[in-house]
Structure 1
Amino acid sequence: MKERCGIFLALAALLFVTGCGKAVYIENQQFILAHAMDLNDEKKLVIYVASSVFSSEATKRYKVTTATVDTIRESRKKLGSKINGSLAPGKLQSILIGKKMLQQTNVLPYLDVLFRDPKNDINANMIVVDGSVKEVMYTNMSDKGELGGVIKQLVESTYKSRITVQTTLQKFHQQMMDSGMTPCITEMKVEKNDLVISGTALLHKDGTYATSLNYQESSLLFLLQHNLKKRISLTFHLPSEIFQTDEKMSYVSFDIKKAKLNFKAKFEGDRLAIEIPMKVQIDLTERLFTLDMEKQSKALEYAIEQELKKECETLIKKVQKHQVDPFHFGIYMRAYNYKNWKGIQSNWGTTLSKATVKVSPKVTIKSIGVSE
């Protein structure tokens, strides 16, 4: 009986509960899904936003609006004057930054409002645009869908394939603030009116553009970061004389299914010496030349070892040239060699650029496929 009285009183109370405010209609909201920025020739900030359109009378599913301003916060006033309805930035999925801007300045101060305003989503993906930001934002999406959604899905799918990184706004802030690493961001461009992920952009510690990595280099970046949550696919062109095959057919592809890396660092005089021994297990996925695997599997493992060593060390030298550390070697130095780290952390990029780095892989083929 007491339970019934309680339920009755609760229902009666609900009859007198009123709404907390004015109703908000989705048709009157402009949800910003993609936010882009670049500098014009006068070094003014050019902002583009792609917002969803829910009106039943509209012919397009999204709208691109632009404004030329000094700060992102200032842009909200100008953008708001051009958009029907209220701006709603809390659903932001992608932040695009022109390479031209990164070549001139550190973008982090411009992003201050995104970190400071709690309404913003700091899980939005960061993307560097190789070319015109305007061209990306006005790419024809009639056969693909809403621009913000297409960009988000493209970044996520290529990250799963391990041909580029996925750096959120929050992760970018961490990479900028941590002295043991430098930022790496997804890079995008337009090819024949299609949005294409072209690799990974690397930034200096001051937030300016350093260099770019292609697909193969981006995959090796995951290996050297010891980021092996998903398989890493690689294709190598082996010297044709090893297996007496045609130059055009001397290709082998494989997936790295498991790897164990060690990081050993010591100073030899004033120069840092780093050794990275690794044990790598692979599944063979493609081989364009004839080979007796029963007799020559060890020879193939050794050939892959040598090519993996060469490509890893070539990538490391490329990065050293620009005095950046997307591999997070500084994190290992801080964790295992803190005594030396204290003296070099403020100048880690220069120290790493002069270091001798040796990669020593040991490859084991665990699978060659279902037929041979």
Structure 2
Amino acid sequence: MSIKRRKKNKIGVYLFIFIIAFGIGIPVGLFMGSSETADVSITMIYSSEKRAWIESIVTGFVNWYSENNGGETISVNFRPMGSRSMCISTITGEINPILLSPASSIWLHFLNNRWFDIFREDIINLSDNTENAKLIYSPFVIGTWDDFNESVSGIFTFDDLNNIATQAFDLHWSHTDPQLSNSGFMAVAMQVASYFKKNTSEIVLDDLLNESLRIWMRELESEAEFYGKSTGFLAQRAMDQFLHVFMVYENLIININNGIAVSDPKAIAIYPEDGTLLADHPFTILKGDWTLKEYNAAKQFLKYIEKNSTIAESFQYGFRPYNPNILTNSTYNATFNSFFNSDYGLVREISVPIYDPYIEKTVFDYLPDLWLTCKA
């Protein structure tokens, strides 16, 4: 394939544009209704790769809330942000949402543990099903273009990427910053698991100190063009075919294909043969000084997104249902099948191993440090 930007000395210009776009996306987000005139207002911070789905259901929720609450009005302020960033910003008080939805449940545990260390109490009641919801998920994939994949005789594992990176070929690839984003964290964890042929839950601290691993990772990471703050915004950069390879969630492959010309090479998802991690996109209500009306409004938002019709709305944006029973409905199944196929660069059934999302606490803390020693 033809990469539109070949010179790495222009990275600064594109990175500047990327950061500006990201910075605008965070404070602006999606507002609906006036918080000054509405009867109640709620704020949610969510991982950016869900943006298209979240924005598609907001109007329905606002109307549904009014219909089910005697005509009361609600204003919503929903903003995308990287998973690690939202947790850290919550701890520092930079943001104060009532609802939080990172890309993976591991960040809810991260937030709860760090919050407890500082304030000696939990900020999330993870045992209360009325305050938590898991509805959709997306496997983490190696994204690339069909013509590029064919030109390198197929990418199947991180070893294949490493082989490409160490050849004379000038590989352009990227993943997000693991210090800020769940997908960057997953990319590093999966590289380590792939190198040692382990499950991610089996990684130990000594593995991260292994010099052979670090040499192997430096060979690949040295080809990275930049490290984005959020996966959704990284996918936006992939749309101009500036990258050969991009580490993203499966759902973003659909978004990319929907955002490029039909005549362009097609984006495809590579499900690493060694295994992949799943982003389970939890929604949770944080503890705080909320009014009863705000708390009830947040719970009603969870109730609304738990509706099968709302979950089915996510299929067109590349999300899989956490509860597969929804696909017994012929209409929802047909919708699902219309997107999870080779036309959109995906497969319907995931055949590769699924890694255990549990990562030992010390390993969890030091994985970003491993990346810092190996990054471009």
Q: TM-score, normalization: structure 2?
A: 0.22
Q: TM-score, normalization: structure 1?
A: 0.23
